[in-house]
Structure formats: structure tokens, C-alpha cells
Chains A and B, each alone.
Chain A
């Protein structure tokens, strides 16, 4: 079962200047994890590797990525929101909920990662987000609701 958390690689990379969530910063993507994955989806996931290809590990989501109609490998391109600080907690988010249309697939979690190598390698993970069980869409629209960008709820918070 996946665990909702930012990843250890994200924590380390922050201290190395390896992320930039400004509007014109790094590009980030959200991909989806299939039901009964082979890998472990928690803070140990370091890189999404080559989604759709290869054995799942902490450096490759590989064949654990969702496949199905309406889903394109590597996932949904996110749009950054300027980071802010509230109650001594830094937060950032993304401006639109990721959606897949004409979609038929099942997923249990999402993973956010870098989508370019402007700073460091591409594919470095930011966080894993559990859906609380299998979510299935059949010839329809699947949307991941990004939580409120606040000090207690934002999808990315640094305390």
C-alpha cells in the first residue's frame, strides 16, 4: 500500500538546490501507479526512471505505471504556483488539477517528479500520494484533486 509523503530524495535534493517550483522554474509531472504494483511507493522512491519500461525499483517506476486508454506514459504536465510561506511553513502547489479524459484504467496512487534536467537529473521524485484504494475510471474522466494550498494541507509543505 502506498504512503502519502514527500520522498527522501526530495528532502536531500532541496538542500542541494535541486528543485525550483517558481512559475518559470523546473517542469514537474504527475504519473499514476497501477493496482498491485511490484515496487514500494513511499519515501524511499528516488526517481521515476523510465516509466512504463523495466522492473520497478526505488529508481524506476517501470511497469508499475498505469497503462490504459486515455493515459499517456509519464503522466500529466503540472503548472507551477509561486511558493509562499504561511505560519512558518513553506508551501507550493500546482495551478490545475491533473485530468485524464476518455480514460479507462485503474490506479492506486500518484507520483510527482521533475520532468526536465535543468537542475540535476530528470525524474527525481517529489512525493507519493495514496488514493486510499483502487480508483477505476471506465471510458470517462479521471481527475486528481490537488489539496488547498495552505500551511496545513498543501501538496508540498516544508516545515
Chain B
């Protein structure tokens, strides 16, 4: 089953919605996981979601600022999440696992690489939604004016 995000009202998805989805992708639990792991994962997911709200708020504000500066031309800029995805945010996420039974898993370099990839993907996707909404608002405004 594939997950969808739906936000009614001709607007971008809120930052906390993006944070929820990104945290869900970072903390996944296998069907055979123990009850202890499931409980720890649920708590860690909430902690990571809190960290990611600030991240996605920042992404949204930066994209809106770029759209204000460049207008529609911004939609043709590369979808580059690099300015938003750095070692600090990954370390903060990994740090949330310290002291839990998931600490060892999140300490693994390959797991941290997956976290980085998820952050890039969801950040790019958030930036893209901002651009699509801006483009559509511009089209509607031009239609109304003509």
C-alpha cells in the first residue's frame, strides 16, 4: 500500500505533515519486530518528528523566500536539497536514538546514509510542492486578470 498526503484548500502541505511523513520513513518497523522494538520505535518516531518540524519549517520558508525573489523562474531552478540536508540534522536525528535500544542501529553508517537520502527526497518533494502551488496561483491570478 502506498501512502498519500492530502491537504485541502489549495495550499502546500504543512511542515508538521511533512515531518510526520519523513519521520515515518526514517523509523520503520518490520512485521516480526518485538513489542519492545515497536514501542521504542514509536517513541523515537515522535522524537524525530519534533526535530523535523523545524527542518521542514525552514525548508518551506526558504522556498517561499526564493519564490518571492525569483518568481516563476524559481520553478526552473534545480530541486537541490543540499542547503537543507547536512551533517547537523542527521546527527540530531541519530542523537535522538541515544539511550534507546535503537541506538546501535542508528549508529551504523549505512543507516545514516539512508536517513540522508530520505531527507533529500522529502525535502526536494516539499520544495516541489511549494513551486507547483506558486505556479498554479500565478496561473489563476493571470486568468482572473484577463
Residues of A within 8 A of B (CB): 4, 70, 93, 95-97, 99, 101-102, 110, 129-132, 135-150, 153
Inter-subunit contact A101/B4 (CB<8 Å): no
Contact count A vs B, C-beta below 8 Å: 99
The complex places the Cα of A4 from the Cα of B21 at a distance, in Å, of 20
Enumerate chain A residues within 8 angstroms of B15, measured Cβ to Cβ. Answer: none
Residue B133 interfacial (CB < 8 Å): yes
How far is A101 from B12 in the complex, measured between Cα atoms in Å? 8
Would you list which residues of chain B between 92 and 146 have a CB under 8 Å from chain A?
114, 117-118, 121-122, 124-125, 128-129, 132-133, 136, 140
The residue of chain A having its C-beta at the shortest distance from the C-beta of B79 within the complex is A96
| Contact of B25 with A141 in the complex, beta carbons under 8 Å | no
Bound: A148/B8 CA distance, A: 25
* Set B1, B9, B28, B133: member contacting A130, Cβ < 8 A: B1
Measured CB to CB, the residues of B under 8 A from A are 1-13, 21, 25, 28, 79, 114, 117-118, 121-122, 124-125, 128-129, 132-133, 136, 140
Q: Give min CB distance, A81 to chain B, whole Å.
A: 9
- Judging by beta carbons under 8 Å apart, are A101 and B2 in contact? no
Docked complex Cα distance between A147 and B124 (Å): 14
A28 to B10, CA, bound (A): 27
Q: Which residue of B lies closest to A141 (CB)?
A: B7
Inter-chain contact B9/A143, CB cutoff 8 Å: no
Q: How far is the CB of A18 from chain B (nearest CB, A)?
A: 24
What residue in chain B is nearest A139 (Cβ atoms)? B10
Considering the chains assembled together, what is the distance between the CA atoms of A147 and B125 in angstroms? 12
Nearest chain A residue, comparing its CB with the CB of B134: A101
Report whether B6 and A147 are in contact in the complex, using a CB–CB cutoff of 8 Å.
no
What distance in Å separates the Cβ of A150 from its nearest Cβ neighbour in chain B? 6
Q: Is the CB of B125 within 8 A of A99?
A: yes
- CA distance in complex: A45, B3 (Å): 21
On whether the beta carbons of B25 and A142 are closer than 8 Å, the reply is no
Structural contact, A96 and B13, CB atoms closer than 8 A = no
- CB-CB < 8 A to A99: which residues of B? 125, 128-129, 132
Closest to B127 in A: A96
A140 partner, pick from B11, B121, B125, beta carbons under 8 A: B11
